[in-house]
Amino acid sequence: MNQQHDVGEAMLRAAQCVRNADVLLVAAGAGMGVDAGLPDYYGGIHLAHPRLAEIGLSVYDLSNHTLFERNPMLAWGHWITRQREYSNTLPHVGYHILHAWSKSNKRNVRVVTTNLDRHFLRTGFTVDNVFEMHGSMHDAQCMNRCGAHPWALDIKAMPSVDLNTMLLLGPPPLCMQCDGPARVCTQLAVDGHWDTTQVEVACRRHETFFRELSTERVVAVLEIGCGTVMAKLRKEAARIVADHRTRGGRATHIRINLHQPHIDEHEDNISLPLGALEALCTMNQLITD
Ligand SMILES: [Zn+2]
């Protein structure tokens, strides 16, 4: 009962901070996509894709540069299956709520995410406001590093995949420039060859925006479903908050996390032990009432 009361209080504070913020940074991890029905591959391959687990493959075996060299049919079979899963899943209402907030009161809503589902862009956010830290699995890069710029994959034109073996049933994509082997242009779990040309542009845009942000602007960082296994989003959310505070600005850090809600004690830190969708819907009701 007390805990429910505390969550209610925290929710009221969080809604007020979002309402008053000039700039809202959404840091979205796997917990954001899970509510749309997307599998969390890092949460366990046996849950995300039982067939891959039966074949005896872990996420580290599959999300691996070497697999593209040794067994491109399996590497592409896995990634094309994921791309199709993600394309067939609609962004949940929480994404639309965030997008609506960006349209009201000229509030600037920016996004940093490690998710590969493109759901923010599909909801209407522009590339200028979204920093996809792990790049895009909808783009390919040359494995010969011939100098070709990463290019967009036409998922619909890709061959089918045998879902029993996860092997691609046709020729894998080749480099547009040199006809050499290609791979997805995203940061793989085991990687040393990712072409970061595109992501560096987005990273610079994100960093410059917050570095040059006036301290008179009130910031709220809404960290949603970011786990501790791959903690880079949590660190980035905390860094933006700390930098703005250090420069004399006001920044609130709101952590929405059903399983790992703990946040450091600070008068402007708020923890909401809820799922992404529930938290955003409740907050939206409070803001629009
Ligand atoms: Zn090439």
* Class of domain 2-195+211-227+246-288 as given by CATH: alpha beta
Output DSSP code: residue 248: T
Q: Where are the domains of the chain?
A: 2-195+211-227+246-288
Confidence of residue 43 (pLDDT cuts 50, 70, 90): low
**Which of 91-100, 102-111, 151-160, 255-264 is least confident?**
102-111
Q: Which residue has the higher pLDDT, 60 or 176?
A: 176
Distance 94 CA to ligand 1 centre (A): 39
Distance 151 CA to ligand 1 centre (A): 11
Q: Which pLDDT score is estimated for 1?
A: 41
Handedness of CA 143, 144, 148, 149 (dihedral sign): positive
pLDDT 10s digits, 171-190 = 999 999 999 999 999 999 88
Q: What percent of the chain has pLDDT over 90?
A: 75
Q: How far apart are CA 142 and CA 193, in angstroms?
A: 10
Q: Which pLDDT score is estimated for 266?
A: 94
Distance 136 CA to ligand 1 centre (A): 18
Which among 275, 278, 214, 266 is positioned nearest to 242, based on CA atoms? 266
Q: Which pLDDT score is estimated for 240?
A: 98
Q: Which pLDDT score is estimated for 229?
A: 80
pLDDT 10s digits, 235-271 = 999 999 999 999 999 999 999 999 999 999 999 999 9
Q: How far apart are CA 208 and CA 58, in angstroms?
A: 37
Q: What percent of the chain has pLDDT over 70?
A: 95
**Which of 49-53, 260-264, 283-287 is least confident?**
49-53
Distance 184 CA to ligand 1 centre (A): 13
Distance 71 CA to ligand 1 centre (A): 18
Confidence of residue 193 (pLDDT cuts 50, 70, 90): very high
Label residue 226 exposed, middle or buried (CB < 10 Å: 0-12, 13-18, 19+).
Answer: buried
Distance 197 CA to ligand 1 centre (A): 15
> What end-to-end distance do the CA atoms of the chain give, in Å?
25
Q: Which pLDDT score is estimated for 52?
A: 77
Distance 149 CA to ligand 1 centre (A): 9
* pTM to 2 decimal places: 0.91
Distance 86 CA to ligand 1 centre (A): 27
Distance 150 CA to ligand 1 centre (A): 10
Q: Which pLDDT score is estimated for 41?
A: 64
Q: How far apart are CA 39 and CA 85, in angstroms?
A: 9
Average pLDDT of the chain to the nearest whole number: 91
β-pairing, 161-162 with 167-168?
antiparallel
pLDDT 10s digits, 4-35 = 668 999 999 999 999 999 999 999 998 998 88
Label residue 252 exposed, middle or buried (CB < 10 Å: 0-12, 13-18, 19+).
Answer: buried
Which residue matches tokens 């490690």? 114
Q: Which residue has the higher pLDDT, 57 or 8?
A: 8
Residue 276 has pLDDT above 70, yes or no: yes
- Residues 80-102 have a mean pLDDT of 93
